Amino acid sequence: MDNPTKTWTFLTNHAHVLLCIARDPEIRLRDVAEKVGITERAAQAIVSELEAEGYLMRVRVGRRNRYRLKTHRPLRHPLENAHRVSELVDMLLPD
């Protein structure tokens, strides 16, 4: 993070991990962890949770993983579940 004195953000670590993967489907979890500001173990746990809940699919390509987001899935919180993952990704990663 740019300012270590800030203690909260508007998005969760799950959203941050999802956005890292949306930006680079072949990203290493070590790099995800560094970008999000969490441990590699935490990044692995989040990816496992996202995969278990059907928000992404992990495919082994040689020694690496390639991820595929399932952007048609709804956001999980009742205040947001009328919206899809694709809307979040499109809003925050417009490229």
2 belongs to a structural domain: no
Tell me which residue has tokens 């790099």. Answer: 31
pLDDT tens profile 30-60: 999 999 999 999 999 999 999 999 999 999 9
Domain that holds residue 18: 13-92
Tell whether the model's pLDDT for residue 78 goes beyond 70: yes
Q: Is the whole model's pTM more than 0.75, yes or no? A: yes
Domain count across the chain:
1
73 belongs to a structural domain: yes
1 belongs to a structural domain: no
7 belongs to a structural domain: no
Nearest residue to 21 (alpha-carbon basis) of 47, 40, 53, 60? 47
Cβ neighbours around 85 below 10 Å, total: 21
CA 22 to chain centre: 7
Nearest residue to 16 (alpha-carbon basis) of 46, 55, 59? 46
Instruction: Give the CATH number of the domain where residue 63 resides.
Output: 1.10.10.10
Tell whether the model's pLDDT for residue 81 goes beyond 90: yes
Nearest residue to 14 (alpha-carbon basis) of 41, 40, 45? 45
